[in-house]
Amino acid sequence: MKIIVIGAGAWGTALAVSATRNPAGHQVVLWARDGAQAAAMHESRENARYLPGIPLPRELHVRGGDVATLLDAAAQADLLVVATPVSGLRGTLHLLQDVDVPVAWLCKGFELPDEAAGPGHAVGLMPHEIQRQVAPHLKAGALSGPSFAQEVARGQPTALVAASHHPAVRKALVEAFHGPTLRVYGNDDLVGVEVGGAVKNVLAIATGLADGLTLGLNARAALITRGLAEMARLGLALGGRQESFMGLSGLGDLVLTATGDLSRNRRVGLLLAEGKTLEQAVQSLGHVAEGVYSARTVWQRAHHLGVEMPIAECVVALLDGQLKPVEAVAALMGRDPKGELL
């Protein structure tokens, strides 16, 4: 297969490395927006900024710069993988709107709402909703699941989900990435997979906060479990299926992001518990923590649908500076009792 990964951050680079090492012998291009970054990576055979210490296979082609050249190459590819943050997805899909090639995105989150739409109408969109607006004719989907870029790039065992309404997209993603160290499962519940990927980032901030306050493993388990219930409530309201939230992109990704030391979103919670401001926490990461940017949008979407998400609501209040860490915990523990399945 001829595969182009658009976006040379940590996750895009890791998947490009993985696809290049696949025994099927794929031809893989990693496309960086910054031509200078692409040239440096090509010369050093390393993504020193986002994935230091991981050598790039000599067979992996690193390109960048001119958009016209990218579009020419895209027309000849078998699969395009968009590895931008959610904030860059709309513009990238607009560029690709006329290609007749399967497209998949890696980002997890909700787009910031368009405040110009007015009260009651400005809600953040999921990636597939963005695609429906700007490139409705694309055969597209998402590649998601519990995965840290460093581990995938090192060839450590990982399982992902290829989600799309189009069987051809699921098939292309499986053929591109399924191999000895990376299993890829197909799922036609694109909504459920995207909701899981977005909400788990918000919940990981909450678990990081609890760990930073040394509340104990009982508290962590409670947050993960009740967070999963919030994720499923929102996902079902948006049209997802219950079983997806018990799978890799739901429970699996939540457990990884809420407990793993490589989780940037969990790290935000830990830093806030230390007394750092949100600005200090984000600056110290050096990478995007999607939960910071999508927390408010997730909660607004839930509120718009009448879905109760108390953990997400507390995370938003914490990030906005309306609650201190200990106050956020007290707010959750002070809620009225109710049945577990409600």
Positions annotated as catalytic residues are 200
Q: Which candidate, 143, 237, 248, 268, places its Cα nearest to that of 196?
A: 248
SS3 176: helix
Burial class (CB in 10 A: 0-12, 13-18, 19+), 36: exposed
Q: Which candidate, 141, 146, 181, places its Cα nearest to that of 160?
A: 146
What's 98-119 look like in SS3? CCCCCEEECCCCCCCCCHHHCC
Q: Answer whether 206's CB lies under 8 Å from 315's CB.
A: yes
What the block records as the tokens of 213 is 């306050």
In sequence order, the β-bridge partners of residue 51 are 47
Pairing relationship of beta strands 158-163 and 140-144 according to DSSP bridges: antiparallel
SS3 163: strand
Q: Which helix (H) or strand (E) holds 60?
A: none
Q: Which helix (H) or strand (E) holds 342?
A: none
In sequence order, the β-bridge partners of residue 28 are 3
Query: 9-31: buried (b, 16+ CB within 10 Å) or exposed (e) per residue?
Result: bbbbbbbbbbbbbbeeebebbbb
Q: Answer whether 232's CB lies under 8 Å from 241's CB.
A: no
What gap in Å lies between CA 104 and CA 5, rounded to an integer?
Answer: 10
In sequence order, the β-bridge partners of residue 183 are 159
